[in-house]
Amino acid sequence: MTEIVVSVRELQTTFHTRAGPVRAVDGISYDIGKGRTLGIVGESGCGKSVTSYSVMRLIEPPGEITGGAVLLHGEDLLSLPEERMQDYRGARVAMIFQEPMTALNPVLTIGYQMDEQIMRHMGLTRRQSRERALEMLELVGIPAPRERYASYPHQLSGGMRQRAMIAMALSCEPDFLIADEPTTALDVTIQGQILELIQRLQERLQMAVQFITHDLGVISEIADDVLVMYAGTACEKAPTDQLMDAPRHPYTVALLQSIPRIGRRSPRLPAIGGTVPTLHELPAGCPFQNRCPRVVDRCRAARPAMTAVAPGRELACFNPVDER
């Protein structure tokens, strides 16, 4: 077993809305080992991004983390004073986003922003940090790093901006990287380049990576393990190949069937009927019950908890698809 870097326990995040509190994340637990990648998949509103923001403690009112723990090498990030957390953010835990301008300041040069972070977290002088920033820009494959160091974010193309953001996020060699849909806005050939880059840097730094995406193809190629989320809860967790080859939760099964794949022809796609319920109107019991083809009485009475069914494999379902 590899060394556990991150351990999230029963994480719960609540948003206080006018219509009452809603649990955007409700009791999510997972571990990520050194050098390993956990993919988190799910459709819009399933809570995958809120999970990431909660782990980084970037939830702002009306949202609030209302329970659980986020252990980084055994230390609970959720109970740290905010100043300590600031020392950790960008240094020991880093995050990259779908839209690089979430992380980049448009009125400062790429170099200035990188220097600021490197000086603060690594205690280097400006000259040293510039050296380090240039090294990182080169490492992420930005041509002419010296020119780019002096560029503003808008002067870079989308793919290059993504690289610059990654260079910045990884400049202090974090133990844990959260990648929130980092390739969703990119063209498929550029996506391939960025995935290769993340993978290469992960190998080099032996980071634990939490990779959020809605794209099952991307997950398939980059993750060691996958956690499937639905309406704020976890429904299935398994090693990637097991999950893709033999999914057991009816939602995972339906999700995998509903995506078109090159070379696999069928006149109709087996769509999942209905839509994801809004968090306000979640039924008692299993949140997937109203769309589930395998629903049984018990599903309406109680919510199934994540239970270990095999090594590395957990499932939250009263009537799962049989093991193959």
Q: Choose one: 23-31, 69-77, 114-122, 261-269; the region binding another protein (CB under 8 A).
A: 261-269
Q: Which of 10, 131, 221, 323 binds another protein (CB under 8 A)?
A: 221
Query: ∠ CA(77), CA(83), CA(88), 5° rounding?
Result: 50
Determine if 261 is a binding residue for another protein (CB under 8 A): yes
Measure the CA–CA gap between 302 and 171, rounded to whole angstroms: 46
Measure the CA–CA gap between 76 and 11, rounded to whole angstroms: 12
* Contact status, residue 166 vs residue 201, Cβ threshold 8 Å: yes
Q: Using CB under 8 A, which residues numbered 36 to 55 contact another protein? A: 37, 43-44
Q: Choose one: 10-18, 73-81, 108-116, 154-162; the region binding another protein (CB under 8 A).
A: 154-162
What SS3 state is found at 154? helix
Determine if 312 is a binding residue for another protein (CB under 8 A): no
- Residues contacting another protein: total by CB under 8 A: 49
Q: Which of 109, 199, 206, 319 binds another protein (CB under 8 A)?
A: 199
What SS3 state is found at 180? strand
Q: Which of 122, 217, 319, 321 binds another protein (CB under 8 A)?
A: 217
* Contact status, residue 34 vs residue 5, Cβ threshold 8 Å: yes
Determine if 171 is a binding residue for another protein (CB under 8 A): no
Q: Using CB under 8 A, which residues numbered 85 to 104 contact another protein? A: none
- Chain centroid to CA 94: how far? 11
Q: Determine the length of the chain.
A: 324
Determine if 324 is a binding residue for another protein (CB under 8 A): no
Q: What is the DSSP string of 270-316?
A: -PPPS-PPPGGGPPSS-TTGGG-TT--HHHHHSPPPPEEEETTEEE-
Determine if 147 is a binding residue for another protein (CB under 8 A): no
Q: Are strands 176-180 and 93-96 parallel, antiparallel or unpaired?
A: parallel
Determine if 270 is a binding residue for another protein (CB under 8 A): yes
Measure the CA–CA gap between 171 and 165, rounded to whole angstroms: 10
Q: Which of 1, 18, 61, 188 binds another protein (CB under 8 A)?
A: 188
Q: Using CB under 8 A, which residues numbered 225 to 254 contact another protein? A: 240-241, 244-245, 254
Q: Would you call the peptide bond into 62 cis, given omega within 30 degrees of 0 as the criterion?
A: yes
Q: Is the dihedral of CA 193, 88, 43, 324 positive or negative?
A: positive
Q: Which of 85, 122, 190, 205 binds another protein (CB under 8 A)?
A: 190
Q: Which of 18, 106, 157, 311 binds another protein (CB under 8 A)?
A: 157
Q: Which of 51, 113, 162, 191 binds another protein (CB under 8 A)?
A: 191
- Closest approach, Cβ 267 to another protein, in A, equals 7
Q: Compute the half-sphere exposure of residue 50: CA atoms within 13 Å on the CB side of its CA.
A: 30
Q: Which of 20, 260, 281, 311 binds another protein (CB under 8 A)?
A: 260
Binding site for another protein (CB under 8 A): 37, 43-44, 157, 159-160, 187-193, 195-196, 199, 214-218, 220-224, 240-241, 244-245, 254-256, 258-263, 265, 267-273, 275-276
